[in-house]
Amino acid sequence: MKYYMPEIECAPRAELDALQSYRLSKQIRRVYENVAPYRHKMDAVGVKPEDIKSVKDLSKLPFTLKQDLRDNYPYGMFATPLKDVVRIHASSGTTGKQTVVGYSAKDVDIWAECAARALVCVGGDAHDFVHVAYGYGLFTGGLGMHYGAEKLGATAIPASAGNSKRQLEMFRDFGSTIVCMTPSYAISLIELMQEVGIKKEEFKLKAGLFGAEPWTEEMRAQIEEGLGLKAYDIYGLSEISGPSVSTECTAQKGMHVCEDHFIPEIIDPDTLEPLPPGQQGELVFTCITKETFPLIRYRTRDVATLTYEKCECGRTLVRMLKPQGRTDDMLIIRGVNVFPSQIESAIIGLDNKATNYLIEVDRINNFDTLTVVLEMREDMLSDTITSVETYKNRMKAAIDSAIGVGVNLKLVEHKTLARSMGKAVRVVDNREIKNKFGA
């Protein structure tokens, strides 16, 4: 199988180190010569390309931040002439200016190879029908997985997101075997299946690659049951390339990073010092083969853990465990640090069932308020008022104790909250709007 590469994916650590060291030193020379912002940053700390000989020297290099990308918007950090750029993608830009990323023909090819490897990792081959329901466009999800499917020689179904009933009909009629979409969209399709009377037995789905947003083991169980497939996690970010920077294998115990192209590190976000394997911290990536947009020590803001233990599947590529939120999604409520992921865990932890929710933050008379709007599940419709009230009290107590702040809990009817077709929006912070425009 062309896109299972044991000589890389199962290589001894010393061989991977040697490959990464060679590619890293070459890459640093290139960016120093071709990208002024990198040259200035390295000069500022007195590091020259010849100081970077191996992966052990990585920590000598300065970090790259999202702000650097904004400061050099749109093309100031490209390392190739614009005539060699064959593709542009961009981040959604919900906060601040959007960031633009570029790819040379070789970059697109390597990205497609990583996406093909991701499909193989979950049992895919040329016989598969790969239904891509990530959005196509500036978002990397759709085109990223599409090129991967074609590279593998599988059949790509470019469904894109939206038109949900049609998605289900396509699963059934086109014989999709592997599906790629956000986990929250998968949950909303499962709800729709009951409504339109389409059953999972009508599908040939065997695996799904779900990513682009955090999701839990409880959601995995719900998706596997609802769609009748094995659900795998896939991670990526536009700045580094897109989906398939890392992907879970059939062992479902963390995502293997394509280390022949990206070197991951975990750092302490406060001291900025690298942390040893197994410790949780901020994930940082260095691109060692990218031509056009080779980010060096890019701080992703994602909180994750790396494990170098050999995997049951035989791959030696380092695994990253499910990202546990982002360092920049922390909410400060009356001085207390609150992570949305703590609230989600408390909600799901109460009875191990995924539920739709929205966190609303506001400031009323200089007092921060946090309201969790929680949708009642369909199976609760027949519950008595007393049992709903008991559930509400238990849920509020669970959330309060998880975050150490008292919340307002608002139960709303099933299907009141908007369903997502891409990344789910879970937090609305009205304080930001008030700060910007005045209350």
Which residues are near ligand DLL by CB under 6 A? 91-92, 134, 139-141, 211-214, 233-238, 242-243, 300, 302, 323, 326
**Tokens 């299907």 sit on residue:** 415
Closer to ligand DLL by CB, 291 or 302: give it.
302
**Tokens 């199988």 sit on residue:** 1
Amino acid at site 403 = I
Return the percent helix, strand and coil in the chain, to nearest 5.
Answer: 35, 25, 40
Minimum CB separation of residue 43 from ligand DLL in Å reads 29
Closer to ligand DLL by CB, 139 or 147: give it.
139
Minimum CB separation of residue 217 from ligand DLL in Å reads 12
Runs of H (alpha helix) within 58-104: 66-71
Closer to ligand DLL by CB, 145 or 407: give it.
145
Residues composing the chain: 439
Query: CA 324, CA 280: separation in Å to the nearest integer?
Result: 9
Closer to ligand DLL by CB, 134 or 293: give it.
134
Closer to ligand DLL by CB, 52 or 214: give it.
214
Minimum CB separation of residue 220 from ligand DLL in Å reads 11
Minimum CB separation of residue 232 from ligand DLL in Å reads 10
Query: CA 86, CA 148: separation in Å to the nearest integer?
Result: 17
Helix (H, G, I), strand (E, B) or coil at 49: helix
Closer to ligand DLL by CB, 6 or 137: give it.
137
Minimum CB separation of residue 248 from ligand DLL in Å reads 9
Query: CA 174, CA 177: separation in Å to the nearest integer?
Result: 9
Query: CA 121, CA 113: separation in Å to the nearest integer?
Result: 12
Q: Is the dihedral of CA 77, 82, 86, 91 positive or negative?
A: positive
Helix (H, G, I), strand (E, B) or coil at 194: helix
Q: How far is CA 324 from CA 288, 419, 434, in A?
A: 26, 23, 29
Tell me the sheet residues that pair with 359: 372, 427
Minimum CB separation of residue 276 from ligand DLL in Å reads 23
Closer to ligand DLL by CB, 214 or 264: give it.
214
CB 84, CB 75: distance < 8 Å:
no
Closer to ligand DLL by CB, 8 or 234: give it.
234
Query: CA 149, CA 136: separation in Å to the nearest integer?
Result: 14
Closer to ligand DLL by CB, 223 or 398: give it.
223
Residue 177: both structure tokens together:
């075997």
Query: CA 268, CA 247: separation in Å to the nearest integer?
Result: 24
Residue 12: both structure tokens together:
């001894």
Query: CA 275, CA 296: separation in Å to the nearest integer?
Result: 18
Minimum CB separation of residue 178 from ligand DLL in Å reads 13
Residue 189, judged by CB atoms within 10 A of its CB (0-12, 13-18, 19+), counts as buried
Closer to ligand DLL by CB, 327 or 371: give it.
327
Residue 248: both structure tokens together:
């879970």
Minimum CB separation of residue 210 from ligand DLL in Å reads 7
In the complex, which residue's CB is closest to ligand DLL? 211
Closer to ligand DLL by CB, 171 or 232: give it.
232
- Taking Cα atoms as reference points, which of 245, 8, 45 lies closest to residue 148? 245
Minimum CB separation of residue 242 from ligand DLL in Å reads 5
Minimum CB separation of residue 209 from ligand DLL in Å reads 7
Query: CA 348, CA 411: separation in Å to the nearest integer?
Result: 15
Minimum CB separation of residue 428 from ligand DLL in Å reads 18
